[in-house]
Amino acid sequence: MAKHAAAYVLAALCLLLVLAATDAEATQTHQPLVPAMFVFGDSTVDVGNNNNLRRSIAKANFRPYGIDFPRSTPTGRFSNGFNTADLLAQLLGFPMSPPAYLSLTGGTLRSQMYKGINFASGGSGLADETGRLLFGQVIPMSLQLDYFASVVEHMTKQSGSRRTASLLCKSIFFISTGSNDMFQYSISRSAPGNDYAFLRGFVAAYKSYITALYKLGARKFSLVSVPALGCIPSQRLRRLNETGTQGCYDPLNDLSLRSYPMLAAMLQELAHELPGMSYSLGDSFAMVSFVFTNPRTKDWNFKVLVAACCGGGPFGAAYPCDKSAPLCGDRDEYLFWDANHPTQAASAIAAQTLFAGDRTFVNPINVKELALL
């Protein structure tokens, strides 16, 4: 709490793509559009933090994960290649996502903190208990926030509060979280629960973390709403097992769909309450729905929308993605890499849409507009 209190003083100082256009801009950009990018969330944006958690089974530091990453290296990303944080970072002018916080030593931390750090953890969520039962050990959002507070403290000691506040208020804070909270709620309730009460708590928790980041110096927030969770391979298998029918798992999709307007309203309200706060909210449900409706366009060509590229059994979700798992030939033709995560190709669509998409998918502005404020 002392770190947070000290940082409050600091705070006072301070899917329709345009692929060709954004690619050209990225190529021509010599300097990133923002000084730093800080990443928070779950496995959709984890770049290796879980590699350093001894008691976690939520890891992707083994083949065939990373098969399409440079040098075919499994880094801890839950993807065949880059994830959404990497690809959004590239559009902002960085080589890829900033490195995982737990991979940094004292010296590398001191130099990296001015360029950004990734605090995300596979299996984590907004609630402290999310992921623990299933994965053993994760870094919940509260601890990710504590880690960031420690970084702000280091920056302030090294560079002073004015320089630190100046850097943070210009940086992008990218957050992709909430799916695991919905998974856990959906699995744990033995009888029909109060979905509205859950969603209110979900949005309240989200609000508390954004407010805490704001007090630590953050001003520009890029957030991704929860996607159509019921349509990922693991949940298609769940529906098949529970009902004997095929299709998306509707209860999870309903939660995802209902969460978006509540999250949007909260952010709009919060932006009025917090001077200088700006945000870009990506409607992930709308993005995924658009791809399902339009699997083939001039920019992408998905031939398999319901099964995982890596995995076995129905939908490629009955057996895990590991060295013995069947692997598809052309990953770019698959929407899903494993039972729960998108392919690099799907993440590229998400990143491009977040960066330069129109108001159909990103509100009230896109990330490029947010960066240029």
Cβ neighbours of residue 102 under 8 Å, at least 6 residues apart?
Answer: 48, 49, 51, 52, 53
DSSP 11-47: HTT-----HHHHHHHHHH-SS-SSS-EEEEESTTT-S
**Distance separating alpha carbons of residues 208 and 270, to the nearest angstrom:** 10
Rounded Cα distance between 174 and 37, Å, is 7
Short-list 13, 60, 34, 319, CA closest to 156: 13
Separation CA 63–CA 89 (nearest Å): 24
Active-site residues, by number, are 43, 338, 341
Within a 10 A sphere around the Cβ of 147, how many other Cβ atoms?
16
Label residue 105 left, alpha or beta by phi (over 0 means left) and psi (-120 to 50 means alpha): beta
Q: Could you give the residue ranges of the DSSP H alpha helices within 116-194?
A: 132-135, 141-159, 161-170, 179-188
Between CA 303 and CA 65 the distance in angstroms is 21
Positive/negative CA dihedral, 159, 5, 137, 83: negative
Measured between alpha carbons, how far is 244 from 229 in angstroms, rounded to an integer? 19
Alpha carbon 73 to chain centroid, angstroms: 21
* 335, HSE (Cβ side, Cα atoms, 13 Å): 23
Specify whether the CB–CB gap between 148 and 174 falls below 8 A: no
∠192-317-68 over CA atoms, to 5°? 130
Instruction: Report the distance separating Cα 150 and Cα 3, nearest Å.
Output: 7
Q: Is the peptide bond before 364 cis (omega within 30 degrees of 0)?
A: yes
Within 10 A of 121 (CB to CB), how many other CB atoms are there?
Answer: 34
